[in-house]
């Protein structure tokens, strides 16, 4: 288990295997694995499908392919059951996060999701994420929870992604129609040939097949997140993982997650402004690995919104010492610069973060 923070995606076929509400048939082994990981000091975020399947019997529909409003009603009922079903397997509290693709595309909401996940994990709470099916529309939907899980892995700075389904992994041929199909244990690079191996799903309650899992893996590995496709119906899978073995298909990350993120911050993300620091703050940021607090800021240049990248400047040398994603807009930062974190609420009327730039969102240059 060579990871520090992992996202585990659980498909509808595991949450509601008979399409008659929630079941613990497969979730007990998954929950035990999560508990073992937590006891080993790992942080886990769940991305769980199944709200539509869980509410399917409770909403009259009379069709194998219900309309979007009907599915939204099913999700509204089923989400409550799904969360209660998960919570019964854990002694620690669980939390619910319902998000849409629009939330992940909006800069401020993206930062809010990131901060919420960070605080939940620091308080030993298991975040359980699902797409907000009750309000999502066609243009907002991520489309499947495989790709949603990859995006959650990115926003949470995870270094590992487990996609659990009802199949052992990626095969060179469709194992449902070809008994000679061979499981591919490791994939170093996702190519067109890899996509050609992906079939479609036969599960009427699933929104994605192997193709969406490969898409999710591609998003993740490009950002340094190692990705596994595993059979969540087989409890032996989790025993193997705990022993450091690969019981499915692993997509190897192109580079370490931390290195990938630092490269993105340093070379790809364009800075929209400048934050100038006094000597004490410069020392804390460069030599002590500290987050940037408002008390060490002397000046702000440029116009930027919360969630945008800024250059961090040494007031004494006028040189860039770091870059980072700012939790505050330029307007709010002007008001709180030089102040203590405890004074932010009094000055602004709210406090989205006690730090201006979190250490995880900063790179020294």
Both 10 and 154 in one domain: the answer is: yes
pLDDT the model gives residue 149: 93
pLDDT of 65 above 50: yes
Phi, psi of 167 (to 5 degrees): -135, 150
Q: Please answer whether residues 299 and 337 qualify as being in contact, where contact means their C-beta atoms are separated by less than 8 angstroms.
A: yes
Q: Between residues 144 and 273, which one has the greater pLDDT?
A: 273
E strand or H helix at 47? strand 43-48
Q: Could you give the CA distance from residue 322 to residue 364 in angstroms, rounded to a whole number?
A: 4
pLDDT the model gives residue 137: 57
Where a domain ends, among 199, 233, 259? 259
Q: Could you give the CA distance from residue 235 to residue 83 in angstroms, rounded to a whole number?
A: 22
Both 9 and 125 in one domain: the answer is: yes
Q: What is the pLDDT of residues 169-202, one digit of tens each?
A: 999 888 878 888 899 999 999 998 898 888 644 4
Highest-confidence segment of 211-225, 268-282, 335-349: 335-349
Least confident of 61-75, 147-161, 269-283: 61-75
Least confident of 85-94, 101-110, 177-186: 101-110
Both 290 and 226 in one domain: the answer is: no
How many domains does the chain contain in total? 2
pLDDT the model gives residue 55: 84
Both 212 and 275 in one domain: the answer is: no
Both 224 and 328 in one domain: the answer is: no
Largest CA distance in the chain: 72
Q: What is the pLDDT of residues 122-176, one digit of tens each?
A: 999 999 998 886 666 554 455 578 989 999 999 999 999 999 988 899 998 888 7
Which stretches of the chain are DSSP H helices? 12-15, 27-39, 51-55, 68-87, 101-105, 107-122, 145-155, 192-196, 210-221, 236-242, 257-263, 279-287, 330-336, 344-348
pLDDT the model gives residue 204: 44
Among all chains, which residue has been given the structure tokens 């595309």? 105
Q: Report, as an integer, the average pLDDT of 241-255.
A: 92
Output the average pLDDT for the chain. Answer: 88
Q: Could you give the CA distance from residue 157 to residue 151 in angstroms, rounded to a whole number?
A: 10
CATH code, domain carrying 355? 2.30.130.10
Would you say residue 264 lies in a domain? no
- Which of 180, 167, 173, 178 lies closest to 228, judged by CA? 167
Number of Cβ within a 10 Å radius of residue 149: 33
Phi, psi of 67 (to 5 degrees): -70, 165
Q: Residue 70's domain spans which residues?
A: 5-259
- In this structure, is the dihedral angle defined by the CA atoms of residues 189, 194, 195 and 199, taken in order, positive or negative? negative
Q: Report, as an integer, the average pLDDT of 193-214.
A: 69
Among all chains, which residue has been given the structure tokens 């989400």? 79
Would you say residue 246 lies in a domain? yes
Where a domain ends, among 224, 259, 294? 259
Enumerate residues 6+ apart whose C-beta is below 8 A from 293.
281, 284, 340, 341, 354, 355, 356
Residue 81 DSSP class:
H
pLDDT of 247 above 50: yes
Would you say residue 184 lies in a domain? yes
pLDDT the model gives residue 139: 42
Enumerate residues 6+ apart whose C-beta is below 8 A from 281.
292, 293, 295, 296, 297
pLDDT category at 205 given cuts 50, 70, 90 is very low
Tokens encoding 189:
């690079």
Cα pseudo-dihedral 3, 242, 95, 98, rounded to 10 = 70
Enumerate residues 6+ apart whose C-beta is below 8 A from 203.
12, 13, 166
Least confident of 7-21, 170-184, 204-218: 204-218
pLDDT of 348 above 50: yes
CATH code, domain carrying 62? 3.40.1160.10
């Amino acid at each position: 288990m060579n990871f520090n923070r992992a996202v585990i995606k659980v498909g509808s076929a595991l949450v509601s295997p008979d399409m008659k509400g929630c079941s613990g048939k497969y979730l007990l082994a998954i929950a035990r694995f999560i508990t073992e990981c937590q006891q080993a000091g790992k942080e886990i975020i769940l991305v769980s499908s199944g709200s539509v399947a869980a509410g399917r019997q409770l909403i009259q529909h009379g069709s194998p392919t219900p309309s979007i409003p009907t599915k939204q009603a099913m999700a509204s009922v089923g989400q409550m059951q799904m969360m209660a079903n998960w919570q019964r397997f854990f002694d620690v509290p669980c939390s619910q996060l319902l998000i849409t693709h629009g939330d992940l595309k909006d800069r401020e909401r993206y930062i809010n999701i990131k901060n919420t996940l960070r605080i939940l994990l620091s308080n030993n709470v298991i975040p359980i994420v699902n797409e907000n099916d009750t309000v999502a529309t066609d243009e907002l939907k991520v489309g499947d929870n495989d790709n949603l899980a990859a995006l959650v892995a990115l926003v949470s700075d995870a270094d590992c992604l487990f996609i659990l389904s009802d199949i052992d992994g990626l095969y060179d041929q469709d194992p449902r129609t070809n008994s000679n199909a061979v499981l591919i244990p490791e994939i170093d690079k996702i190519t067109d040939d890899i996509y050609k191996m992906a079939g479609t799903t036969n599960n009427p309650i699933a929104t994605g097949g192997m193709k969406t899992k490969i898409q999710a893996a591609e998003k993740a590995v490009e950002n340094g997140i190692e990705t596994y496709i595993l059979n969540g119906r087989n409890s032996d899978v989790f025993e193997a993982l705990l022993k450091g073995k690969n019981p499915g298909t692993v997509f190897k990350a192109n580079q370490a997650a931390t290195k990938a993120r630092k490269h993105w911050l340093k070379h790809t993300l364009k800075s929209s402004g400048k934050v100038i620091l006094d000597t004490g703050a410069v020392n804390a940021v460069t030599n002590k690995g500290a987050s940037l607090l408002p008390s060490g800021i002397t000046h702000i240049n440029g116009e930027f919104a919360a969630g945008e990248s800024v250059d961090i400047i040494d007031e004494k040398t006028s040189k860039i010492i770091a870059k980072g994603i700012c939790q505050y807009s330029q307007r709010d930062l002007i008001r709180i610069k030089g102040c203590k974190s405890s004074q932010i609420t009094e000055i602004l009327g709210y406090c989205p973060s006690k730090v201006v730039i979190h250490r995880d969102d900063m790179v020294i240059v």
